[in-house]
Amino acid sequence: MKRTFSYLLLPVLAFVFGASLLTCTDDPVPLPTGSIKIRFDNVVGSKDLKLDTDTYINADGEDFTVSTLNYYISNIKLTAAAGNNFTVPQDSSYFLIREGNVDSQQITINNVPARNYTGIEFVIGIDSLRSVSDISRRKGILDKDSGPTNEEAMYWDWNPGYIFLKLEGTSDSATSSNNRFYYHIGGFGGLTEKTLNNIRVARIGFGDQRAAVSKNAATQINLKADILKVFNGPTKVSIKENTSVMFMPFSKNIADNYVSMFSLDQIINK
């Protein structure tokens, strides 16, 4: 048991400790609360992502189409000036974004303290603590046996754990017999021994824009997710050389790439 705890401690502190910040941001007089909608627009460079139809080119000059794009967003935190941050309660902070399901691409955060927010942070994937929690604490979007997680095959039973990002498609450069490529990226650090840890945190500042939350306002944050970053980040990923990447050391490079695929499009305050 002692060995297990040592491997889980750092990921838990790094990605779940933020939940404790909520008690540090309480105001002397409780603020009114409002809601924020967050929309994820999946793109490929300057083009909108369209499944199974449009062809795109990566930095290696390889053509590809996309048939599947799914990724988990969790442990959301809204940042504000002077440390007035709001951490979404963890039980309400897990979402599966699917390009094949329009409704999944917009999420709503309720009971947000009214103030002006300057940025957002979230985990791409599922944190280690929740990954090893009892199945009774992994229902809804995290239910591996029913619902979207099961339908999209976003869980490895053979190597228990969630697939954080799934990108599949076709390419003339793929070395598979059917020209398909597969990127299934997961790994939370291991339960009984140290393994791959591909948990990543995306941090997006709003620049001069502000998400102004108030009791009667409808605030929407539009984010773009550019999947070219999967191929074109710190490590250039060739489909020919990496046609299938799953639970293997190279998956770390893809996780390091896609952490930067998110950017602010616009904020709409009404």
71, 164 Cβ separation under 8 angstroms: yes
| 226: CB partners within 8 A, 6+ apart | 43, 44, 45, 261, 263
Structure tokens at 77: 């935190």
What is residue 270's predicted lDDT score, i.e. its pLDDT?
83
d(CA 232, CA 58): 7
Q: Which of 249, 251, 223, 225 is nearest to 237 (CA)?
A: 251
Task: Output the CA angle 164-170-173, nearest 5 degrees.
Answer: 110
What is residue 183's predicted lDDT score, i.e. its pLDDT?
98
d(CA 242, CA 265): 31
Total domains in the chain come to 1
Strand partners of residue 220 = 37, 268
Torsions phi, psi for 216 (to 5 deg): -110, 5
170, 67 Cβ separation under 8 angstroms: yes
Structure tokens at 218: 């409808």
d(CA 120, CA 219): 14
The boundaries of the domain holding residue 96 are 2-269
| 241: CB partners within 8 A, 6+ apart | none
Percent of the chain with pLDDT over 90: 83
Amino acid at 236: K
Strand partners of residue 70 = 98, 166
What is residue 213's predicted lDDT score, i.e. its pLDDT?
94
Structure tokens at 236: 């250039």
84, 74 Cβ separation under 8 angstroms: no
Please give the average pLDDT of every successive group of 10 residues along the chain, which has 270 residues. 43 45 51 94 97 97 98 98 92 97 97 96 97 94 96 94 98 97 96 91 97 90 98 96 97 98 96
Q: What three-state secondary structure class fits 151? A: helix
203, 121 Cβ separation under 8 angstroms: yes
Secondary structure letter of residue 28 according to DSSP:
S
92, 47 Cβ separation under 8 angstroms: no
112, 34 Cβ separation under 8 angstroms: yes
d(CA 120, CA 206): 8
What is residue 255's predicted lDDT score, i.e. its pLDDT?
98
Residue for token pair 């103030």:
115
120, 205 Cβ separation under 8 angstroms: no
What is residue 28's predicted lDDT score, i.e. its pLDDT?
55
d(CA 161, CA 131): 6
